[in-house]
Structure 1
Amino acid sequence: MSALHLTLASASPRRRDLLARLGIEPDAVQPADIDETPLKAERPRDYALRMGLEKAAAIEASGFVLAGDTVVAAGRRILPKTETEGEARNCLELLSGRRHTVLSSVVLRSPDGTTRSGLQESTVRFKVLSREEVNAYIAGDEWRGKAGGYAIQGSAEGLIQWIKGSHSGIMGLPLYETRALLKAAGFVIG
């Protein structure tokens, strides 16, 4: 197997789509099976980076391994990857009319075992959401499995007043940081 073989440690179709924007198609997709429970009193930045590092370490593959994690935080509170309508509703109601932080880690393990990492931080502000807007968003089902209960690449984008940071990072893979890590490791990008 070539040293330029790239394994993406994520089942996220968004991360694959984002990598394609850099002209990269992973040779393999192998989601990491790790415990994603935050540690007691763990800060969101530390959690996001730890998740990316643990996902990269969990993959047994030759060549490069690219992993990452996206965390939505309201202050020091880490919001869940929502699995129920109730969780999604709670997140949207909490985020309504206020700023929150989206932290996206990206971790690259090189064939020689060297690990490089980056963390991109964005700030997002939702408009004040009416009950009808929350209900409509929940009904659309875009929230399922999404950190903080929303996907910026979907209809939630119409509810966001502004962002400061990386749109691709909020989606799940900060492309500037990803490209920089790959180039620094000697991965050839077209």
Structure 2
Amino acid sequence: MKKLILASSSPRRAELLKQIGLNFEIRVGCVDEPLLPGLSPPELVECLAERKAAAVARDLNDGIVIAADTVVVWQGQVLGKPLNGEEAFDMLSRLQGSAHEVLTGVALIDARSGKVLVEHEKTRVFFRAMEDEEIGRYVASGEPLDKAGSYGVQGLAAIFIKRLEGCYTNVVGLPLARLAQMLKVFGYKVL
């Protein structure tokens, strides 16, 4: 079976791959992640995921490289990772009491053949109304600072989420059902 390479330093993505029993190594390439003007949110996450995968695959002779990029979209506005606590507070203030979408682009590249497959997953997330004090305490926890949209569904922010429509692991950062189907295209069966 081909080896798998996760092109991500995200501990959450690594944990998700371990959860489904995959053996993999981690390699991270140097990729700038600017918000590219003119791209729709699905195009954006697919483009960035493919860039991440390509940055790692070009240095390999073998293996399937897996990369992902996740953003939060609220009222048509893309929310990436906050730069600081103030920006995190602002993002969470906008998300509270409303629905938003989480999009993750997933890219696979077979380093030997150069075959590329890029797709995305979308999940709708509904936040309950939140008080400014709650948001402030959550931001002070430090949890929001390295996450798209300033929250982690698998952490403290779970208390803010009323419901999800779609894939839970997509909101964590890697849609496992989609990934398993994509890996099949490369001849790699998860089960």
The TM-score, its normalising length taken from structure 1, stands at 0.94
The aligned counterpart of 1:186 is 187
In 1, the alpha carbon distance for the partners of 2:82 and 2:118 equals: 26
Is this contact kept in 2: 1:22–1:179, CA < 8 A? no
Deviation at residue 75 of structure 1 after TM alignment: 2.5
In 2, the alpha carbon distance for the partners of 1:166 and 1:33 equals: 29
Q: What does 1:92-111 correspond to in 2, within 5 Å? A: 92-110=92-110, 111=112
Q: Does residue 1:81 correspond to 2:81, yes or no?
A: yes
Determine which of 4, 21, 26 is the counterpart of 1:29. Answer: 26
Q: Does residue 1:20 correspond to 2:18, yes or no?
A: yes
Is this contact kept in 2: 1:99–1:126, CA < 8 A? yes
Deviation at residue 83 of structure 1 after TM alignment: 3.0
SS in 2 for 1:113: coil
Q: What does 1:1-190 correspond to in 2, within 5 Å? A: 4-26=2-24, 28-59=25-56, 60-61=59-60, 62-110=62-110, 111-190=112-191
| Greater displacement, 33-42 / 6-15 | 33-42
Cα offsets for 1:76-99 (capped at 9, x unmatched): 211121131011001101101111
| Greater displacement, 85-94 / 40-49 | 40-49
In 2, the alpha carbon distance for the partners of 1:129 and 1:78 equals: 21
| CA RMSD after TM alignment | 1.3
Deviation at residue 8 of structure 1 after TM alignment: 0.6
In 2, the alpha carbon distance for the partners of 1:161 and 1:130 equals: 15
The TM-score, its normalising length taken from structure 2, stands at 0.93
In 2, the alpha carbon distance for the partners of 1:143 and 1:177 equals: 26
Paired residues, number: 187
Structure showing the higher helix proportion among its residues: 2
Runs (4+) of structure 1 exceeding 4 A deviation are none
Cα offsets for 1:121-142 (capped at 9, x unmatched): 0001111110111012112111
In 1, the alpha carbon distance for the partners of 2:167 and 2:28 equals: 24
Deviation at residue 117 of structure 1 after TM alignment: 1.9
The aligned amino acid for 2:144 is W
The aligned amino acid for 1:131 is D
Cα offsets for 1:134-166 (capped at 9, x unmatched): 012112111011000000000101111111011
In 2, the alpha carbon distance for the partners of 1:49 and 1:22 equals: 23
The aligned amino acid for 1:82 is P
